[in-house]
């Protein structure tokens, strides 16, 4: 990072001053660093209690946020735990009882830990809802409201969302006090060097053949959004990941993809929200999300 991105320039200062903030920005604008830096600026590392809570729609995104916070806060000796479904409850309890400055997690597991009284909320200063529109799309609304009820009344709320549908705006009116609204325009995205192409296919049956033609003619190092069974049947080596897999398997596939041992990954459109894998050079949307 050489210079702050557009959203970092506009959002970090009001967040560190304690204001509620709604930031509408796409993936790739530096959102994670924006709230991570703000969190690190606001917590007291001498107090081994949870002071900031980040909720995300997927386990992978929650884990990635944990990694960013730990990396940025390395010299602060900050403690951050990823509290996500599909992992050991016993490990969550052990980590939380040890004391964590920041918790990054998915709403279901976070609320479970709050109800068990292992995640203590009395010292929480900031709640961050990352990819808020996707949180609501995935049906986490009730769990988010349940979590919020356990937080101190003075808790600062930061909402980051690619879109601002009615459900998100309704939630902000209930959670937030005089929020500052920040909009990052599309032409200010930090995703440089990406070319987009549209391939018109007259018949549904032709799509797979077209995909194979693209794969054969393009030189690629990594790819996202593929098909699994047909690609394997056509003798292509691919990996796949979806929400029904156990967390250990998802973690292993993600690690292989990040390290480059798995060159092609097939997954759903949700994976594209906020996940950062620098080596990806091609994304193919085989079907448009409904």
Give the residue among 125, 124, 129, 121 at the shortest CA–CA distance from 158: 129
Burial category of 246 from C-beta neighbours within 10 Å (exposed 0-12, middle 13-18, buried 19 and up): exposed
On whether the CB atoms of residues 18 and 90 are closer than 8 A, the answer is no
Residue corresponding to tokens 């459109």: 269
Backbone angles phi, psi at 182, to 5 degrees: -125, 130
Both tokens of 49, joined, read 């209690």
Domains, in order of start, for the chain = 6-188 (3.40.50.300), 204-283 (3.40.50.300)
pLDDT of residue 257: 78
* Rounded percentage of the chain residues whose pLDDT exceeds 90: 46
Q: 213-268: per-residue pLDDT in tens? A: 776 665 443 444 446 677 777 777 777 776 667 777 777 877 777 777 777 777 76
Confidence tier at 197 by pLDDT (50, 70, 90): confident
DSSP letters spanning 131-178: THHHHHHTT-HHHHHHHHHTS-TT-EEEEEES---HHHHHHHHHH-SS
Inform me whether the pLDDT recorded for 276 exceeds 70. no
| Helices 141-149, 107-115: crossing angle, 10 deg rounding | 30
Whole-angstrom Cα Rg for the chain: 20
> Span 203-210, mean pLDDT?
82
Residue 223 confidence (pLDDT): 42
Q: What is the mean pLDDT of residues 179-207?
A: 72
The predicted pLDDT at position 189 comes to 47
Average pLDDT over residues 190-204: 71
Which tens digits make up the pLDDT trace of 140-160?
999 999 999 999 999 999 999
The pLDDT of residue 12 is: 95
pLDDT average, residue stretch 177-187: 80
Range picked from 4-8, 152-156, 205-209, 248-252 for highest mean pLDDT: 152-156
User: Does residue 127 surpass a pLDDT of 90?
Assistant: yes
Helix/strand/coil percentages in the chain, nearest 5:
40, 15, 45
Between CA 238 and CA 247 the distance in angstroms is: 19
Which pLDDT score is estimated for 224? Answer: 41
């Amino acid at each position: 990072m050489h210079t702050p991105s557009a959203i970092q320039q506009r959002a970090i200062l009001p967040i560190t001053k304690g204001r509620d903030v709604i930031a509408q920005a796409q993936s790739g604008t530096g959102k994670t660093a924006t709230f991570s830096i703000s969190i690190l600026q606001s917590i007291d590392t001498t107090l081994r209690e949870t002071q900031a809570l980040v909720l995300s729609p997927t386990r992978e995104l929650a884990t990635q946020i944990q990694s960013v916070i730990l990396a940025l806060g390395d010299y602060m000796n900050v403690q951050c735990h990823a509290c996500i479904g599909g992992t050991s409850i016993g490990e969550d309890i052990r980590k939380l009882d040890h004391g964590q400055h920041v918790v990054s997690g998915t709403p279901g597991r976070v609320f479970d830990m709050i109800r068990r009284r292992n995640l203590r909320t009395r010292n929480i200063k900031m709640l961050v809802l990352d990819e808020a529109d996707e949180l609501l799309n995935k049906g986490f609304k009730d769990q988010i409201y349940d979590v919020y009820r356990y937080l101190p009344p003075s808790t600062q709320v930061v909402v980051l969302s690619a879109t601002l549908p009615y459900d998100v705006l309704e939630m902000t009116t209930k959670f937030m006090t005089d929020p500052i609204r920040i909009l990052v325009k599309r032409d200010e995205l930090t995703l440089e060097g990406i070319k987009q192409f549209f391939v018109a296919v007259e018949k549904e049956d032709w799509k797979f053949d077209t995909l194979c033609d693209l794969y054969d003619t393009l030189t690629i190092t990594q790819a996202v959004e593929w098909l699994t069974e047909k690609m394997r049947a056509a003798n292509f080596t691919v990996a796949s990941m979806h929400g029904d897999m156990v967390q250990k398997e998802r973690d292993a596939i993600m690690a292989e993809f990040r390290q480059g041992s798995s060159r092609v990954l097939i997954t759903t459109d949700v994976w594209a929200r906020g996940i950062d894998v620098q080596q990806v050079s091609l994304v193919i949307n085989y079907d448009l999300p409904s």
